[in-house]
Structure 1
Amino acid sequence: PKREPQENFLLDILIFFTDFYNDEILRYLDKNWNDVMPHILHYADVVEPEDLKAVGEIIRKEYLGNGKLNKKTFKKMIQALGDRLFVADIEKSARLHSAAVKSPVYHYNFAYEGSLSISLVLSNTTDYLGVSHGDDAMYILPVVDLVTNERDRRMSRILIDIVVSFMKNGKPDIIEDWKPLSKDTSSFLNQLKISGPDDIKMVELESIGNSEFWNTLPFRENEKYVSYTKDEL
């Protein structure tokens, strides 16, 4: 069991189609980290005002260390946004959903680097920045004609087979040992990692999205909102 980086979340940093992959903007974000990040990372309203600066510094240290934010460290910022806005709570919601329902819950991480990506459309750069949130949908739905080579077409057929077999049988019929999530929320997270048409494997993970780190921060949200309210009363 291990922790692995989760792909498919680059779009998080292109919020509202803003191009953050820009030297001037990155310099601004670096200089004004503690003023801007509470809003970008959506914790401005869930942290006490007097704690915002300290929380911002903790997050910066966790993801950037002592470095500056620039194009060389851009993917570290992507990781922070993906973890905070999506992945950490994807783990939580998947575990809780699996524990609450009788039917099996299947979880996958789409890590396939295809010939084109939503990130190339939205970031206004030819630099390949990684697998984007929503890239898997392009291989399933006819959004635009982006499947341009045989490898992409094979990947498309596999993803479509996952959806169709799950709709027909309640079980994605892609590999024999795709294990559903456990009903025990404290057990390892079963995840199918899809890195390519010939690179699909099961992994067992302790957590995803650096959730242990994010759970240590004083965010008044979700189940913590109730505990903070009780403490105040």
Structure 2
Amino acid sequence: MKCGKRIVLFTLFAMNLVDQPAPEVTIEQGTLSGKISTDGSFFEYVGIPYATTNSSTRFKAPLPPPKWKGVYKAVEEMYQCPQHTPFGVVGTEDCLKINVYVPSEANRPLPVMVYIHGGGFMLGNGGKMIVGPNFLVKQDVILVSFNYRLGALGFLCLGIEEAPGNAGLKDQIAALRWVNKNIAAFGGDPDNVTIFGTSAGGTSVSLLVASPTTNGLFKRAIVHSGSSLASWAINMDPIGVASTIVSRLGYDTKDPEKLYEIYSQLSHEDLVLATANIPITHLVHKQLLLLPCVEKSFLGVESVLNDLPYNLIIKQPKKNISLMYSSTDKEGWFFADEETKDTLEIKDKRSPFEEDLVFKSKKEEKALALKVKQHYFGKEAVSEKTILQLSDLYTHLYFEMPIILELELMVKTSDAPVYSFYFTHSGKRNFVKSRTRFVNEIGASHGDDLMYIFKGSICPYRIDDKDQRVIEWMTTLLTNFAKYGNPTPNDSPVRWIPHSKDKLNFLNIGDELKMIGIPNPEAYRLWKDIIEKHRRTKVD
């Protein structure tokens, strides 16, 4: 009798440890199986190959996905593209995998939300460490996430057919085409796809909206903390950046063919380690960050960006894609936290402007740089004493102002609604802030909104009532937008007013929900005047 009880107890215990299979799904590549989430609320199919790469396509668009016989077990999500982590270089070049999370009980066909991860185009993946699906799938949407190539493998741009640029963006487009072709098999609606992303993922979304190659792949788009008009969105000197990076490995050339030969021969570990341990803001200032680029045209080669995003936005036919933009009130904390006494002294002497702006003379640039410095620092120097002011500069220059200037363009050039929210909630799930020197400040850092959208395993802490309320607000508003193109179709929990050509309207998401005007009007006027007069409209 005792033995029988022990067997029953052990069986019940083991059932919680063994993955329960989800229904099999047949797509063009073959049949695949997934697993049921631990609480039974959704099915997960992870690590599905959506495209392939090999040595011949190392810096080019990916190849079609593989087919298989039998049943592919889509249960392994530990794939990621090569990148540097605290544990060293991780990932493999065969990393183009996609994850699909499907509510187990919901009326089909379901709206689809496709998330593009951030990480400065050099870090990150679509796995559940950040992109935990639990919060969103409860709102009866299918969530899709995926990996795309990073660093040199994804964004080496040499202006030659062997390395035309934007391989990482081409991976993203391949993933969207995979979704368009296969999501119906999972119960999704291919005609109701919303793409969304954060930071570099948000900028990717913005670039995909601007690109003429993505027509018909998505119906709506949400851009979190990114913009195609940001100074870090486009590599204005891709040959120079590629040359500078390999100079750290002992090479000295600016010849595209020779650079291609060097990059082709280097292992992915060497490519990653060339700029490892340098903070992202310093990579930007030192021109060591490989980014999307404006591509040269080659016969038979599809380009993602054949012009600067600003030109594409104002010149292309109306896409009429419903849009949502967002930023946090203290984006700059994430970047200011990297500063040291030495780097602050350098910041005090250098111009705040990047390569996306052009000036008639050094004298003009110096005068405007002084104007910017006086706005943020008055007569003080850039130092530890004024680190909060520096973080505000980073917030406005890299995120808030490019986003506002982009959405203004979209309001003028599209008949579809454009919404914006401003995330100011200061809660226990502000994970990024909790890792900075600003942990005791009030506000939300770059990336802090993520943990109110996703149940990432990186943030396992108990959810209190205030944070739970914000999670419910965020997930309801975002999924309503994905379902209906309107985040508050019943004017609940607030009436969210889209922008108009006459007035910009922002939903402040903090301790309460309320509509506000432009968050920082003086900084907006300062940067709008500078950027619109000095925006680069051509690349060499």
TM bucket, shorter chain = 0.7 to 0.9
Q: Give the aligned residue type for 1:220.
A: H
Per the TM alignment, residue 101 of structure 1 is displaced from its structure 2 partner at its CA by 2.1
Larger helix fraction of residues: 1
Alpha carbons of structure 1 residues 111 and 133: separation in structure 2 relative to 1, 3 Å = same
Alpha carbons of structure 1 residues 127 and 25: separation in structure 2 relative to 1, 3 Å = farther
Farther-moved stretch of structure 1 (200-209 vs 54-63): 200-209
Larger strand fraction of residues: 2
Alpha carbons of structure 1 residues 161 and 25: separation in structure 2 relative to 1, 3 Å = farther
Per the TM alignment, residue 7 of structure 1 is displaced from its structure 2 partner at its CA by 6.8
Q: Give the aligned residue type for 2:338.
A: D
Structure 1 segment 22-61 matched on structure 2, within 5 A: 22=340, 24-25=341-342, 27-29=344-346, 33-35=348-350, 37-38=351-352, 41-42=353-354, 46-47=358-359, 48-61=361-374
Alpha carbons of structure 1 residues 177 and 126: separation in structure 2 relative to 1, 3 Å = closer
Contact residue 329 and residue 423 of structure 2 kept, 8 A? no
Match of 2:467 in 1: 152
Match of 2:497 in 1: 179
Per the TM alignment, residue 26 of structure 1 is displaced from its structure 2 partner at its CA by 6.4
Per the TM alignment, residue 76 of structure 1 is displaced from its structure 2 partner at its CA by 1.4
Q: In the aligned structure 1, how far is the partner of 2:505 from the partner of 2:395? A: 20
Q: Which runs of 5+ in 2 are unaligned?
A: 1-325
Residue 528 (structure 2) aligned to one of 188, 205, 215: 215
Q: 3-state DSSP class of the match of 2:509? A: strand
Match of 2:394 in 1: 81
Q: 3-state DSSP class of the match of 2:515? A: strand
Per the TM alignment, residue 18 of structure 1 is displaced from its structure 2 partner at its CA by 6.4
Q: 3-state DSSP class of the match of 2:443? A: coil
Match of 1:231 in 2: none
Contact residue 110 and residue 193 of structure 1 kept, 8 A? yes
Per the TM alignment, residue 64 of structure 1 is displaced from its structure 2 partner at its CA by 0.7
Contact residue 111 and residue 131 of structure 1 kept, 8 A? yes
Map Cα deviations across residues 180-205 of structure 1 (whole Å, 9 max, x no partner): 111x2xx2211111112xx1111234
Q: In the aligned structure 1, how far is the partner of 2:516 from the partner of 2:437? A: 34
Per the TM alignment, residue 94 of structure 1 is displaced from its structure 2 partner at its CA by 1.0
Residue 8 (structure 1) aligned to one of 291, 309, 328: 328
TM-score normalised by the chain length of structure 2: 0.34
Q: Which runs of 5+ in 1 are unaligned?
A: 1-5, 227-233
Match of 1:105 in 2: 418
Per the TM alignment, residue 28 of structure 1 is displaced from its structure 2 partner at its CA by 1.7
Match of 2:178 in 1: none
Paired residues, number: 205
Contact residue 7 and residue 131 of structure 1 kept, 8 A? no
Q: Give the aligned residue type for 1:161.
A: T
Per the TM alignment, residue 88 of structure 1 is displaced from its structure 2 partner at its CA by 1.5
Match of 1:167 in 2: 482
Q: 3-state DSSP class of the match of 1:78? A: helix
Q: In the aligned structure 1, how far is the partner of 2:437 from the partner of 2:387? A: 15
Q: Give the aligned residue type for 2:380.
A: G
Structure 1 segment 130-145 matched on structure 2, within 5 A: 130-143=443-456, 144-145=458-459
The alignment status of 1:95 with 2:408, answered yes or no, reads: yes
Structure number, greater radius of gyration: 2
Q: Bigger relative contact order, structure 1 or 2, given CA contacts below 8 A and separation 6+?
A: 1
Per the TM alignment, residue 46 of structure 1 is displaced from its structure 2 partner at its CA by 2.5
Residue 441 (structure 2) aligned to one of 128, 136, 154: 128
CA RMSD of aligned residues (A): 3.1
TM-score normalised by the chain length of structure 1: 0.73
Q: Give the aligned residue type for 2:345.
A: Y
Match of 2:509 in 1: 194
Q: In the aligned structure 1, how far is the partner of 2:507 from the partner of 2:515? A: 5
Per the TM alignment, residue 117 of structure 1 is displaced from its structure 2 partner at its CA by 3.3
Contact residue 178 and residue 192 of structure 1 kept, 8 A? yes
Q: In the aligned structure 2, how far is the partner of 1:46 from the partner of 1:13? A: 27
Identity among equivalent positions (%) equals 20
Match of 2:13 in 1: none
Q: In the aligned structure 1, how far is the partner of 2:438 from the partner of 2:414? A: 43
Alpha carbons of structure 1 residues 7 and 44: separation in structure 2 relative to 1, 3 Å = closer
Alpha carbons of structure 1 residues 148 and 108: separation in structure 2 relative to 1, 3 Å = same
Map Cα deviations across residues 121-143 of structure 1 (whole Å, 9 max, x no partner): 2x356443631122112110123
Residue 432 (structure 2) aligned to one of 118, 139, 144: 118
Alpha carbons of structure 1 residues 18 and 79: separation in structure 2 relative to 1, 3 Å = closer
Contact residue 147 and residue 153 of structure 1 kept, 8 A? no
Q: In the aligned structure 1, how far is the partner of 2:455 from the partner of 2:482? A: 19
